[in-house]
Structure 1
Amino acid sequence: MLAAQRQAWILQEVRQHGAVRVTELVAALNVSDMTVRRDLDSLADQGLITKVHGGATARGGGSTDEPAFSVKAARQRRAKEAIARAASELVRPGTAIGVSAGSTTYAFAQQLARVPDLTVVTNSPPVAELLHALPGPPQTVILTGGVRTISDALVGPVAIDAIRRLHLDCVFIGVHGIDAEAGFTSPNLMEAETNRMLVSTAQRLVVMADHTKWGVVGLSEIAALHEASVLVSDDGLGSGARQVLREAVGELIVVPVEGAGANEEEE
C-alpha cells in the first residue's frame, strides 16, 4: 500500500471513530511503528488530524465542536487522573453529590470506591455503570433519563425534570472550556442547560478541568467563574490563568502531573 493510500485509510478511521492508536494501525496496516508515525505526522501537518500521545484524534472545530467520549478520554489522561484524585478528597461520607458527564468526571468516579454511604446523581451512563461495578461500600446511584449525546450525556427536558427537585450537597462537573469572560462553557446547548440545572441544586460547585480547557469557549455557558466553590486543574495551567482564576473562583487547586509534560497529550 502506498503512503497516500495508507494515509487516506487512516484519515477515514479517525473520522469514523474519532480517535486511533498507533498500535492498532500497525497491526491493521502491517507496517512498522515508524511508518505509522510518519503517516500521522503528514496528516497532522496538513491539518487533517490532531496528534496525541500514542495515536491521533479528529481535529477540533469551533464553539459547537463536541468530541465523542472516547476521543475526550484519550486526551490529557494523566492530568485528568491527577485532577480526579484531588477532587475525590473533597467528597465526604454520607453526602449526596451530583456528577456530570465527561471523561474527567469518569476518572473522578473511579476514585469514589473509598467513600461510604454516598448518594450520586448523574446524567452519565458510563459513570453510573462504573459506580454500580465498583468494589467497596455500597452506594446509591441515581441516573437521570434524557436524550443521549455524542459525549455520552443524558440531556433535555426529561433529565432536567429529574434533577430540578433535588437538593445536593455538592456537584462535580467537567467542562469543555474556561474563559475569563465566558466562564465555564459547553458546545452543546442542551447539555449546558442540563448542567446548569444540576449546578443550581447544590450548595457547592466543584469544577474539574485540565489546563487545555483554559481559553476555550463553547457555545453555551454552564456557570460563571465566581459560581465555582473550587476549581481543580493541573500544573500545566499558565501563571496568567492562575492569577485570573484565583481572583474569580472560591478556591483554585493545582495538582502536579507525574510523568507528563505540561503540554503533552496523553494516551
Structure 2
Amino acid sequence: MLAAERQAHILEEVQRRGAVRVSELSQLLNVSDMTIRRDLDILAAHHRLDKVHGGATVRRAPSTEEPGFEAKWVQQTSEKQAIAAEAAALISPGSAIGLSAGTTTWTLARLLWEIPDLTVVTNSMRIAGVLHGSGPTAPNVVLTGGVRTPSDALVGPVAVSTLQMLHLDIVFLGVHGMDSQAGFTTPNLLEADTDRALIAAGRRLVVLADHTKWGTIGISTIARLDQADVLITDDQLSSGAQQSLREAVGELRVTRSRSGDEEEEQD
C-alpha cells in the first residue's frame, strides 16, 4: 500500500471515529507503530488531524474561528432538515418561541408557516426574512437589535436588553459546538451573552446540533449540557457521544437523516 493511500485510510478512520490509537491503526493497516506515527506527523503538519499522545483525533478548529452563514448552510443539509422537522413537532399553535441565529434554526424557521398563531423572537435577520409576509398563518416576528456577526447574528447589549423583557415558551438554540466538559459553545463572546439572555427568557430549552458539532469547542460557553431540556441531533453521531449526551441532557432525540439512509443502502 502506498503511503498516500495509507494516510487516506488513516484520515477516514479518524473522521469516522473521532479518535483512534496508533496501535489500532497499526493492526488495521498491518504496518509498524513507527510507520503510523510518521503518517500522523505528515497529516498533522498538513492540518488534516490533531496528533495526541498515543494516537490522533479529528482536527479542532481554533476556538475563535467563526464561519459565515453561506459557508455553513450548505453543510449537513439533510441532517439539519431532519433535526428541524423533529423540532417543529414540539411547537404548539399560539406559542411564543425563540430562535437563535444559525443555519439549523434557519431551517426550522422555514417550517413554521404551517403552525398558526406563532410569535417568533429571533436575533437573526435571515430568520426574520424567512418569516416575513402576510396571511392567516404568518407568524408575528420580533427581531432584536444589535451588532451583526459573521454568522449573521445580532448580538450585544441592545439584543440582550430586548431579550431580558420577554417570556417565551420554548427557545430553540443552534450552537457552534458541544463538548462534555465545555458544554454548548460559540466562537463569539458577544453572541454567547445574547444566547444566554435568550435561554433565560424561555421556560424550555431545545438545542439543535448535528453530529459535526460534537467535540468542537468555541471560546465561550453558552450553557452546560444539563441545561438542555431536549437535544436534537442526527444518527451520524457516534454511539459514545450519544451515551455521553443521554447522561447529561434532559432528553436526547436522534433523527434519521437521508445521508444516514444512503450509507445503510450502500452497506
Give runs of aligned pairs for residues 115-126 of structure 1, distance below 5 A: 115-126=115-126
- In the TM superposition, structure 1's runs of 4+ consecutive aligned residues that sit over 4 Å from their partners are 44-49, 260-263
In the alignment, which residue of structure 2 is the partner of 1:153? 153
Alignment of 1:124-163 (within 5 A): 124-133=124-133, 137-163=137-163
Report the Cα distance in structure 1 between the residues aligned to 2:136 and 2:63, rounded to whole angstroms.
40
* TM-score calculated relative to the size of structure 1: 0.75
Tell me the CA shift for residue 48 of structure 1. Answer: 8.4
**Residue aligning to 2:239:** 239
Could you give the per-residue CA deviations for residues 95-120 of structure 1, whole angstroms, max 9, x where no partner exists?
A: 10000001011001011111111000
Larger radius of gyration: 2
Return 131-140 or 239-248, whichever deviates more: 131-140
The aligned counterpart of 2:165 is 165
Structure 1 residue 134 displacement after superposition: 7.9
Gaps of 5+ in 1: 1-43, 50-58
Alignment partners' CA distance in 1, 2:145 and 2:71: 23
Mapped to 2, the partners of 1:148 and 1:133 lie a distance apart of 23
8 Å CA contact 1:119, 1:140 repeated in 2: yes
Distance 1:48 1:249 in 2: 32
Deviation at 1:262, TM superposition (A): 8.9
- Tell me the equivalent position of 1:216: 216
d(CA) in 2 for partners of 1:133 and 1:258?
30
RMSD: 2.4
Please show how residues 94-105 of structure 1 align to structure 2 within 5 Å: 94-105=94-105
Task: Tell me which residue corresponds to 1:256.
Answer: 256
- Aligned residue for 2:203, secondary structure, equals strand
Give SS of 2:62's match.
Answer: coil
Q: Which runs of 5+ in 2 are unaligned?
A: 1-42, 49-58
CA distance in 2, matches of 1:134, 1:81: 24
2:78 aligns with 78
Instruction: For 2:210 and 2:134, locate their aligned partners in 1 and report how far apart those are by CA, in whole Å.
Output: 25
Task: Give matches, 1:54-73, under 5 Å.
Answer: 61-73=61-73
C-alpha change, 1:133 and 1:60, in structure 2 (3 Å) is farther
Distance 1:165 1:259 in 2: 41
What amino acid does structure 2 have at the position aligned with 1:201?
Answer: A
Return the TM-score normalized by structure 2: 0.75
Equivalent position of 1:207 in the other structure: 207
CA distance 1:261–1:66, shift in 2 (3 Å): farther
Does structure 2 conserve the Cα–Cα contact (< 8 Å) formed by 1:95 and 1:118?
Answer: yes
How far the C-alpha of 1:133 sits from its partner, in A, is 3.8
Asked if the contact 2:185–2:221 (Cα under 8 Å) also holds between the matched residues in 1, the reply is yes
In structure 1, C-alpha distance between the alignment counterparts of 2:78 and 2:44, rounded to whole Å: 26
